[in-house]
Amino acid sequence: MLRGLEALAQHPGAHPIKVNAVGLRGFTEDELLPFAAFARERPFEVRFIEFMPLDADRAWDMDKVLTGEEIRAAIDAVYPLEPEPREPHATARVYRFADGKGRIGFINPVSEPFCGDCDRIRLTAEGKLRTCLFSVGETDLREPLRAPARATPSSRIVRDAVWRKELKHRVNEPGFVQPARSMSAIGG
């Protein structure tokens, strides 16, 4: 994997190159500083993602979430960080190292949901449109696109699905239902 990343780094059109890592309490704490050093030594933006209830084995528990704030504080204690302005609709809060040697990001959907300005949708390999990672419902696009005489234009199907987009994902709220699909089956 590292050889592939190094080869990719030689192509300016491929930048920025983002390397994602999931923070998991009791499992990844010892890897935080090495990942930060990796981001300082190479032209990659390491992004820490909070552990989300999208795991195939259904082992998610809030107690296992190593929050972005905890990760940021641990890194900042060794490598001081400065926040960069947040891009509209961005999922990551990006920081640069104070000495100018690289950038690091934090995606905090559990502890700091960004649902209010999320504009993302996903298309699964089976042609299902998901308006949120945590959606329990999906909109089928494959069958309408394959229909010989489409009664409803695909643009209208997508527009209608987006209009029904959830206002927030409700992780950590009573009644939250974990989606049946894991992250790997969603396409993320």
Convert the pLDDT of each residue in 83-120 to its tens digit.
999 888 888 999 999 998 999 999 999 998 888 888 88
pLDDT at 34: 96
- Residue where one domain finishes, among candidates 91, 107, 123: 107
Give the residue numbers spanning the domain of 126.
115-186
Report the domain count for the chain.
2
Q: Are residues 67 and 9 in the same domain?
A: yes
Shared-domain flag, residues 97 and 125: no
- Report the mean per-residue pLDDT for the chain: 88
User: Residues 36, 98: one domain?
Assistant: yes
Distance, in Å, from the CA atom of 55 to the CA atom of 182, rounded to the nearest integer, reads: 5
Amino acid identity of residue 89, one-letter, is H
State the pairing for strand pair 44-50/17-23: parallel
The answer on 156 and 100 residing in a single domain is no
* Per-residue model confidence (pLDDT) at position 188: 60
Confidence tier at 67 by pLDDT (50, 70, 90): very high
Same domain, 76 and 134: no
Query: Do residue 101 and residue 131 come from a single domain?
Result: no
Residues 126 and 174 in one domain: yes
Res. 66: pLDDT tops 90: yes
Pairing of strands 128-130, 122-123: antiparallel
Among 4-13, 73-82, 150-159, which is the least confidently predicted range?
Answer: 150-159
Q: Which residues contact 143 (CB under 8 A, 6 or more apart)?
A: 127
Instruction: Say how many C-beta atoms besides its own lie within 10 A of residue 57's C-beta.
Output: 6
Residues across the chain = 188
Instruction: Answer yes or no: are the C-beta atoms of 30 and 24 closer than 8 Å.
Output: no
33 pLDDT band, cuts 50/70/90, is very high
Q: How far apart are CA 28 and CA 26, in angstroms?
A: 6
Q: What is the pLDDT of residue 149?
A: 66
Residues 15 and 53 in one domain: yes
**Chosen domain end from 64, 83, 107:** 107
Question: 54 with 140, same domain?
Answer: no
Question: Which residue's structure tokens are 């080869």?
Answer: 7
Check whether residue 42 and residue 133 sit in a common domain. no
Question: Which residue in this structure is represented by tokens 């950038």?
Answer: 103
130 and 180 in a single domain? The answer is yes
pLDDT at 37: 96
Q: Check pLDDT > 90 for residue 155.
A: no
Instruction: Tell me, yes or no, whether 175 and 87 share the same domain.
Output: no
Among residues 107, 140, 157, which one ends one of the domains?
107
Question: Helices (DSSP H) in the chain: which residue ranges?
Answer: 2-9, 32-41, 68-76, 142-146, 154-163, 183-186
* Cα(106)–Cα(79) distance, integer angstroms: 15
Separation between Cα atoms, residue 160 and residue 154, nearest integer Å: 10
